[in-house]
Amino acid sequence: MTKPNLFELPSGVQLVYLAEGGANVIYRFVRKPILAKKDPKRPLPPPTHDTDHYNLPTQLKGKLLRLRKETPADISYTEIVRNFDTIIRPLFNPEELVDQTLVRLPEGLVASCNEQLRTAELNGARPEKRHGGYLCLHEPFGLLITDMTTAGDPGATLAELKPKWLNQSPSAPATAHRCRTCALRDMKNRESQLLGRKEQRSFCPLDLVSGQYDNVLRATGLIKGCKDRSRLAHILYRNPTLQRLQSLQKTERDVGLHGPAAQSREMSLAMTLRDCTMFIKIPHDERSSVEIRLGDLDLKTGAGGKADYWRDLETRLIEQGCGSGVGQDKDLFDGCFWPADLLSQVFEDVRVLTFGYNSQPVKIFKAGDMGTITQHMLNLLEKLTSERYECEDRPLIFVAHSLDGLLVKGALNESRLYETNTTTTQAKISASCRTVMFFGAPHHGTDLEREFARYLGPIRDSRPPWNILDNNFIVRGSRVFKAGNEMGEWLWKDEFFREWKDVMASSLLLIEGKPGSGKSTLVKRILDSITTRHLLQPDQTGGPLIAYFFYSYRGGSLETSHQTMLQSILYQLLSQEPTKLYPLFRKRYCELMRPNGLDSPNNQGWTKNDLNHILGTLKTVDTGRRIFIFLDGIDESDEDGRRSKILETVVDLCSAKTCIIKALISTRPLSKKNMGVKIIDNRLVLEKHNLNDTSTLVTTELDSITQKDGFHREPARSQIEGVKRYIVEKSAGVFVWVYLVLREIISQEERKGLSLDDLKELQKRVPPELGQLYRNIVKSLDGGESGRDKRSETDQARKILMCVAFCRSHLDIG
């Protein structure tokens, strides 16, 4: 607490750099100088277990020193301690908190520490991401905080975790099955997928307070510093401090979209309780007591845009369906790695091996070191053989997903080539294989597919031709990437879009954009937003009727067919409002069901004309609910001659007076001849809106990998800004082009680091057109390894691409 006779730090006490964050640096105390044995290349000495507590003043024993950095928030330690003493301290027992008290600093100490930090930057002894941040020279105080390190007990271990949100967010929709923390992790992982970055893994905070030991044990697998999961699980199971924190979070629940003003004391406390850290010091002797304290409890404020960020983040989590898993698998990662966490509980002697590889075997500019599928397959066989040394006869069970299935099949086939010499370890791989579990593996054309077809074929062929559709036709929409956090924010302020969405009258909105400009992503975002808003704010009518179809070349004829689109749209609408919409289908349905109707040689079931007519009559029915129809990528549809007829129907629907029909169509720029109809009233051209988003994306990614010594100084900074401008200008608003260029930069930085010369060379070599970028990917195949016999991969790749692009049936890979 703040006292008149404040303790002053003795001038003879030496400080040893321990760690730092974005706003503070932590030091350890030692009495005697340690410069005699200091490594000149490490001006910030590493933490030591030989702290001289005997000679330290009593006030410093068991304490660390925290010094404040210069930050935009500029909150003094006096204010921090006042808030801690009056708001935080009364909520907990003293032994549950990392205590903090003011200490007056001797003159010149902060300047001296800053010089140490600068020297450490030059010698590489300071983390690169902390370069350029220094201690605040006008802060007269430091903070003495409880020492939770294991310096005094070398046999002890320190585990630390962020409990985060121990209750569900008040704003979460009723359908949410993810907690708020897991939803946020999911949203960030979607962005990582777009940029080819590693996804986050974390435990679910609700597991810690579930009251179930198995759930707590599962969470310990991802807690930093955990060396004995079982012991830590017993410590955290129904732990009083965690339970107290959960109870306080439940009481201080003024968070989410419906909480108080962002600058209020209630909001600040609520967010502080959800962003603290738990430190758990576990002694080697199990009979000794465990020390558990909560730290990082400086009162959070909404200053500097944080309040808007909190609310905006909550909105995005809801609109993108991260809590409810809209359009994706139910659980991306629940804190449980099932091969290690679950199998071991059923099979005590099971051995689990995982094989990781880069599944993007082509480069943009040149052949890389990622290797071909064949090389990955050989690597799998080699690694597996090596791991099974001295236990070659143990039975094997493979679990393979997607491309992994090809690797497993290839490795087993390669293993069989050694069967003439059964003593080799490679031969024993296939001989020991008992089962292979395939999940989504491409079996098309193989014996395995033909075996399944013996049973599935008759079922597939016996489906009655009068079925309108089942929901398996609603496919591509679930495969469209979600937008990044800040991408497309301009949309919600656009006059054309707001009028289309909000005005209670039928209308049509056209979204035009070049390939790769983010049309499908934007349509998906609008679709999710309208769907989510209906779930959160249902009205008495039951909400709008929503139907969508995403055309896609990649899906083959099924996903480019106008008939499939019509079936899909009508099926979705009929399933949502069967009573009022069934009369539109009744007459034709009865004709199909008449005697000999289905068996008639001239009966082809539901025709395109039937379906198009039914869709056109939709405007005559007053359902009492707004109708939203989304058609994405109509330029990718087949039968161009019928495209204009479909568009005429949609345009006519959007003139409805009896009911309100809102249609949204996205397409590449098409000529008037190809469109066949004028739909220019409300038009959004993405290239005109995407430049700010691409600039933000480029700046964020390049800044994150260029924060190293020399990059923040002139002239390097000016040259980097030039590279940023070049990428943004050449992108012309095409996100795919930007993602491919950034992925090459990120990949090179992760492999061997990135220099200024590398960036300048990249600027010279990067092609300005997306088509040329794709051509470079194909050309890059010629520079890589060709396999064991060094064959050129270019011809093979060309044949594969032609087969994939132009095949009319499943490829035979057997």
Pairing label, strands 627-632, 157-161? unpaired
Give the residue numbers spanning the domain of 61. Answer: 14-152
Residue 1 is predicted with a pLDDT of: 44
Share of the chain above pLDDT 90, in %: 22
pLDDT class of 256 with cuts at 50, 70, 90:
low
State which of 627, 659, 688 marks the end of a domain. 688
Residues 184 and 246 in one domain: yes
Contact 513, 519 (CB under 8 A): yes
Provide CB contacts within 8 A for 149, sequence distance 6+: 18, 28, 47, 64, 158
- Strand, helix or coil for residue 776: helix
Reply yes or no on whether the pLDDT at 262 is more than 70.
no
Residue 461 has pLDDT above 60, yes or no: no
Tokens linked to 375: 């090389």
At residue 539 the predicted structure's pLDDT band, cuts being 50, 70 and 90, is low
Given this model, what pLDDT does residue 82 score? Answer: 94
What DSSP string describes 375-404?
A: HHHHHHHHHHHHHTTT-TTS-EEEEEETHH
Asked if residue 2 is part of any domain, the answer here is no
Task: Give per-residue pLDDT as tens, 545-574.
Answer: 999 998 877 666 777 888 888 999 999 999
Whether the per-residue pLDDT at 50 is higher than 60: the answer is: no
Strands (E), 147-274: 157-161
Q: Is residue 810 part of a domain?
A: no
Minimum mean pLDDT among 102-106, 279-283, 743-747: which range? 743-747
Contacts of 479 (CB under 8 A, 6+ apart): none
Give the Å distances, CA to CA, from 451 to 315, 400, 443. Answer: 48, 19, 11
* pLDDT of res. 415: 86
Same domain, 708 and 604: no
Give residue 814's pLDDT: 45
Task: Determine the Cα–Cα distance for residues 251 and 267; give it in Å rounded to an integer.
Answer: 12
Task: Tell me, yes or no, whether 1 lies in a domain.
Answer: no
In this prediction, residue 257 has a pLDDT band, given cuts at 50, 70 and 90, of low
Lowest mean pLDDT segment, chosen from 10-24, 376-390, 746-760? 746-760
So what's the pLDDT on residue 661? 93
In this structure, of 138-152, 266-280, 409-423, 606-620, the range with the lowest mean pLDDT score is: 409-423
Rounded to an integer, what is the distance from CA 440 to the centroid of its chain?
Answer: 21
Calculate mean pLDDT across residues 623-645. Answer: 82
CB 381 within 8 A of CB 411: yes
Q: Which of 366-380, 500-514, 705-719, 739-753 has the lowest mean pLDDT?
A: 705-719
Q: Is the pLDDT higher at 583 or at 444?
A: 583
pLDDT of residue 69: 95
Top-confidence residue, 769 or 180: 180
Residues 6 or more apart whose Cβ sits within 8 Å of residue 706: 720, 754, 759
- Domain contains 807: no
Residue 370 has pLDDT above 70, yes or no: no
Does 752 fall in a domain? yes
The reported pLDDT for the residue numbered 385 is: 84
Q: Which of 291-295, 310-314, 380-384, 489-493 has the highest mean pLDDT?
A: 291-295
Query: Residue 703 in contact with residue 547, Cβ under 8 Å?
Result: no
Domain count, the chain: 5
Whole-angstrom distance, CA of residue 413 vs CA of residue 728 = 47
Distance of CA 231 to the CA centre of its chain: 32
Q: In 10 A of CB 154, how many CB atoms? A: 8
Count of CB atoms situated within 10 Å of the CB of 806: 7
Looking at residue 27, its pLDDT comes to 96
Confidence label for 770 from pLDDT (cuts 50, 70 and 90) = confident
pLDDT at site 545: 92
- Residue 104 inside a domain? The answer is yes
Q: What is the structure's pLDDT at 144?
A: 96
DSSP 646-703: HHHHHHHHTT-SSS-EEEEEEES---HHHH-S---SSEEEGGGTSHHHHHHHHHHHHH
| Mean pLDDT, range 403-432, rounded to an integer | 80
CA-closest candidate to residue 745, choices 704, 779, 783, 782: 704
pLDDT at 330: 37
Question: pLDDT digits over 127-142, tens only?
Answer: 988 999 999 999 999 9
Q: What is the pLDDT of residue 800?
A: 73
273 or 703, which is more confident: 273
Give whole-number Cα distances, 185 to 179, 190, 199, 572, 791, in Å: 10, 9, 9, 31, 43
Instruction: Show which of 291, 317, 338 is a domain's final residue.
Output: 338
pLDDT for the residue 235:
95
Show the tokens assigned to 526.
């609008």
**How confident is the model over 390-395, as a mean pLDDT?**
83
- What are the tens digits of pLDDT across the range 104-160? 999 999 999 999 999 999 988 899 889 999 999 999 999 999 999 998 788 899 999
The one-letter amino acid code at 53 reads: H
Kindly state the percentage of the chain with pLDDT values over 70.
70
Q: Give pLDDT, residue 341.
A: 66
In a domain, 3, yes or no: no
Residues 388, 528, single domain; the answer is no
Residues 434 and 304 in one domain: no
Residues 735 and 758 in one domain: yes
Q: At what angle do helices 735-752 and 770-780 cross, to 10 degrees?
A: 40
Question: CB 96: neighbour CB atoms within 10 A?
Answer: 15
- Kindly state whether residues 221 and 281 are assigned to the same domain: yes
Cis previous bond, 583, omega within 30: no
Same domain for 268 and 391?
A: no
pLDDT exceeds cutoff 70 at 510: yes
Q: Are residues 407 and 479 in the same domain?
A: no
Q: How far is it, in rounded angstroms, from Cα 526 to Cα 229?
A: 44
| From 70-84, 89-103, 585-599, the region with the lowest mean pLDDT | 585-599
- In terms of domains, do 36 and 73 share one? yes
Q: Please report the pLDDT score of residue 790 as a whole number.
A: 44
Residue 502, pLDDT score:
83
- Tokens 């190809």 -> residue: 674
Choose the final residue of a domain: 663, 688, 713: 688
Average pLDDT over residues 632-649: 78
Give the phi and the psi of residue 507 in degrees, each rounded to 5.
Answer: -165, 165
The pLDDT of residue 457 is: 45
* DSSP label of 433: E
CATH number at residue 27: 3.30.200.110
**455, 492: one domain:** no
CATH number of 486's domain = 3.40.50.300
Mean pLDDT value across residues 430-440: 86
Q: Which contiguous run of DSSP H or E holds residue 17?
A: strand 14-20
CB of 380 closer than 8 Å to CB of 408: yes
Q: What does the pLDDT average to over 37-64?
A: 61
In angstroms, rounded to a whole number, what is the distance separating the alpha carbons of residues 741 and 705? 14
Place of tokens 């294991």: 150
pLDDT, mean over the chain: 77
Q: Is beta strand 507-512 parallel, antiparallel or unpaired with respect to 683-685?
A: parallel
Q: Is residue 9 part of a domain?
A: no
Same domain, yes or no, for 609 and 620?
Answer: yes
Collapse the DSSP code of 360 into the 3-class scheme (helix H, G, I; strand E, B; otherwise coil) and give the result. coil
Least confident of 8-12, 699-703, 738-742, 806-810: 806-810
Expressed in angstroms, the distance from the first to the final Cα of the chain is 75
CB of 143 closer than 8 Å to CB of 102: yes
Q: What is the pLDDT of residue 468?
A: 44
List the one residue out of 168, 163, 162 whose CA is nearest residue 253.
168
| pLDDT score, position 117 | 94
Residue 260 has phi, psi (to 5 degrees) of -75, -175
Say yes or no to pLDDT of 780 above 80.
no
Predicted local confidence at residue 752, as pLDDT = 63
- What DSSP string runs through 220-246? HTTSBT-S-HHHHHHHHTT-HHHHHHH
Q: Are residues 236 and 331 in the same domain?
A: yes
Does the pLDDT of residue 677 top 70, yes or no?
A: no
Sheet holding 277-282, edge to edge: 157-161, 277-282, 291-295
